[in-house]
Structure 1
Amino acid sequence: MTMPSFSLAVLNDAPAAFRGAVLAIGNFDGMHEGHQAVLAAAEAEAQHLSAPCVILTFEPHPRSFFAPATPLFRLTPAALKASVAAAHGISGMLVARFDAAFAATEAEEFVRAVLVEKLAARHVVTGYDFHFGHQRRGTPDFLKRQGVLNAFGVTVVDKHGDEAGAVSSSRIREALREGRVEEARELLGWDFSLVGRVIAGDKRGRDLGFPTANMALNATCGLRHGIYAARYTRPDGSVHDGVASYGRRPTFDNGAPLLETFLFGFSGELYGEMGLVSLIGWIRGEERFDSAEALISRMHEDAAAARAILAARPQRDLDRRIAAAWPRVERQAEAAGLA
């Protein structure tokens, strides 16, 4: 699948082509349906103005900066966030390094130095709850006034929700903590996915007849331990059905959590590559078995269950475009020091 050109860069190295763009600004952790409403409004304005449409976001997440002792279960690291943006046809994503100096920047200075002087923004789009600048003094109404003073347009997108309330990253995190990946999928609008580098394991899975691609995820990952139907995207863009286990392997070592993905019908080497694991359905919680034989029997049942789930839930168009965009965007993230 051919994807439109997309550029991922840190703000200080913003491509010259992004001057005069329509900017969608926010943290966008999750790139969920509410965030996608902001992107849609920005895309519409960009088409109207015949301008590029660019996301401006922040790393690390401001909550992680201000409360480093409180772990934050991140839904979308920079490369995955950018992959969803690319799948929507956005021109690129700029990442502002959120450090002490940036946190101390007054809202007026952010508008002057970043939006006006550096990026010459033609139009800015944010969500209804976006705040920026020192002590969060930059409110949506403040941004609208600044737009009038500095000759750029401003659109503030209203709350996007359902009968249970606003779609939010917090709701998605809570669903994932309970293994409800189907609910997370509905709130995201795409299959929740995890990114990691395949590491060498103890080869126990190979001995059991289920060789796996093992990934050590960020320690803040709050995903429920258990077994999931999954799809695995390789750096070459190929997508493979499989079954994934996330947890501590209580039958054997009860060690540090690992994401272990068994790819159906695959026999090549995966060590060292970055992989994208998309979770399609929940199968069961993590269990301790009395013997390897009992575990193997259950693993065959899990594989059959995963095949049935995957057959019933083929890749949707957005998921297909995310998978197609991810390998190239991941390489850009590594080059920019954002992986």
Structure 2
Amino acid sequence: MKDLTAKPNQKTAVALGYFDGVHLGHRRVLQGALDAAEANNWASGVFTFYFDGLNPIKGSSILSVDERRRRMEEMGIDYYYCPGYESFRDLSPEAFVQEVLVEQMNAAAVFTGDNFTFGKGGAGNVELLSELCRARGISHTQVDMQAEDGTLVSSTRIRGLLEAGEIAHANMLLGAPYAVTLPVQPGKQLGGRLGFPTINQRYPTGMLMPKQGVYISRAEVNGVAYAAATGLGSRPTVDGEDVTCESFLIGFTGDLYGATVRLELHEYLEPTRKYASLDELHACIERAVKAAQEYFA
């Protein structure tokens, strides 16, 4: 997948949206563009965007920009265009279609969900998008939202599941395990003293944080996956203030300080709590490690 820096020579089928979870509903829109591109010998493209700092109009981001890009690339998208929100927020609907879809993306077809809005202040909706595209020889397809058990798949719903610790259900709606890719930072090295050396990662501002607790997880280091046990949240047994994502990678040896590690959460085990002793904390880690070994066996 190429970052779109100039208008492609080839016509494109473009998926439009924030796609903060690249969930099953988002994937239907993206797949629409992929299918149209294949059928017409076009390129496939995606227009999405990111926020500088806190998100003023959307909920906390489910996935980072890099993780969103990774998942779209895995689907087979050819061109990726992801400007900052501030760079186009003041465009009128007409200017957005002309400058972004026509002049930047060379669009022949556009795909959106049914709740897509665009233009300054969200002035444009799917009906106006169809009208503006039609006037420029571009087709627009409104993709029906995906439903699961009679309930729509949405970012709001997935945020709720993640915040409730229902990680397995959230992963099903995402179409892939929830994941973060974050740098490893120095910790208090308590895990090492307990026989379980851990890596520490911190969530950036604006990112959704799933329910605090102990998780079965999987970490990717230099292309190698390790089953892992992760404690997410504050550490009440130690100091009660430090909020961290702390993981023991089963079978890994080495120093990862300063490295960037991709971590998937697979199953919620139990909430974090204040243990009466470090022995009890040790026993909790042991339980989580055994559960992770069995889960990935």
The amino acid that maps onto 1:7 is K
Partner of 2:64: 77
- Of residues 258, 270, 277, the one that matches 2:263 is 277
Residues 24 and 61 (structure 1), Cα distance of their counterparts in 2 relative to 1, 3 Å cut: farther
- CA 1:173 to 1:165, structure 2 compared with 1: closer, same or farther past 3 Å? same
CA contact (8 A) 2:53 2:205 kept: no
For residues 16 and 104 of structure 1, do their structure 2 counterparts lie closer, same or farther at Cα, with a shift above 3 Å needed? Answer: closer
**Structure 1: runs of 5+ lacking an equivalent:** 1-5, 312-339
Quote how far apart the aligned CAs of 1:61 are: 8.2
Contact 2:21 2:63 in 1 (8 A): yes
Kindly indicate whether the alpha-carbon contact (under 8 Å) linking 2:54 and 2:205 is maintained by their aligned counterparts in 1.
no
Q: Which among 223, 228, 236 is matched to residue 237 of structure 1? A: 223
1:53 deviates by: 0.9
**Residue 19 of structure 1: how far off its partner (Å):** 5.4
2:140 corresponds to 1:154: yes
TM-score (norm: length of structure 2):
0.94
Aligned equivalent of 1:300, options 271, 283, 286? 286
Which of 45, 57, 79 is the equivalent residue of 2:36?
45
Correspondences of 1:307-326 after superposition (within 5 Å)? 307-311=293-297
- For residue 88 of structure 1, what is the aligned residue in structure 2? 75
Residue 73 of structure 2 aligns to a residue in which SS? helix
Kindly indicate whether the alpha-carbon contact (under 8 Å) linking 1:27 and 1:61 is maintained by their aligned counterparts in 2.
no
Give the match for residue 314 of structure 1: none
* Displacement of 1:102: 2.2
1:14-25, aligned counterparts within 5 Å? 14-17=5-8, 20-25=11-16
The match for 1:257 is 243
Name the amino acid aligned to 1:196.
L
Alignment partner, residue 2 of structure 2? 7
| Residue of structure 1 equivalent to 2:21 | 30
Q: Structure 1 residues 52-61 or 245-254, which shifts more? A: 52-61
Q: What is the SS of the residue equivalent to 1:59?
A: coil
- How many angstroms does 1:164 deviate by? 4.3
Superposed CA RMSD in Å reads: 1.8
Deviations 1:14-45 (A, max 9, x none): 24447522111100010000000011111100
Aligned to 1:163, which of 149, 152, 161? 149
Contact conserved, 2:14 with 2:110, CA < 8 A, in 1? Answer: yes
SS of alignment partner, residue 74 of structure 1: coil
Q: Is 15-24 or 196-205 further displaced after alignment?
A: 15-24
Contact 1:127 1:157 in 2 (8 A): yes
CA distance in 2, matches of 1:182, 1:8: 32
- How far apart in 2 are the matches of 1:103 and 1:92? 21
Q: Given the alignment, which residue of 227, 239, 242 partners 2:214?
A: 227
Structure 1 residue 7: Cα displacement: 2.1
- 1:158-201 CA distance string (max 9 Å, x none): 12112241100111110111111001011111101112101111
C-alpha distance 168-61 of structure 1, shift in aligned 2 (>3 A)? farther
* AA at the equivalent of 1:33: L
**Is the Cα contact below 8 Å between 1:125 and 1:157 reproduced in 2?**
yes
- Find out whether 1:97 has 2:84 as its counterpart: yes
Map of 1:210 onto structure 2: 196
Measure the CA separation in 2 of the matches of 1:188 and 1:267: 31
Q: TM-score, normalised by structure 1?
A: 0.83
Gaps of 5+ in 2: none
Q: Does the CA contact (< 8 Å) of 1:280 and 1:310 recur in 2?
A: no
Instruction: State the shift of 1:66 in Å.
Output: 4.4
2:93 corresponding residue in structure 1: 107
Contact (CA 8 Å) 1:280, 1:309: kept in 2 or not?
no
Q: Quote the sequence identity (%).
A: 27
1:153 CA displacement: 1.6
Residue 179 (structure 2) aligns with: 193
In 2, the alpha carbon distance for the partners of 1:280 and 1:128 equals 31
What amino acid does structure 2 have at the position aligned with 1:57? T
Given that 1:198 and 1:274 are in contact with CA atoms closer than 8 Å, whether structure 2 keeps it comes out as yes
Query: Greater relative contact order (Cα 8 A, min sep 6): structure 1 or 2?
Result: 1
Cα distance in 2 for partners of 1:259, 1:274 equals 13
- How has the CA–CA distance of structure 1 residues 53 and 175 changed in structure 2, closer, same or farther, with 3 Å as cutoff? same
**Stretch moving more, 16-25 or 207-216:** 16-25
The counterpart of 2:124, out of the listed 134, 138, 144, is 138
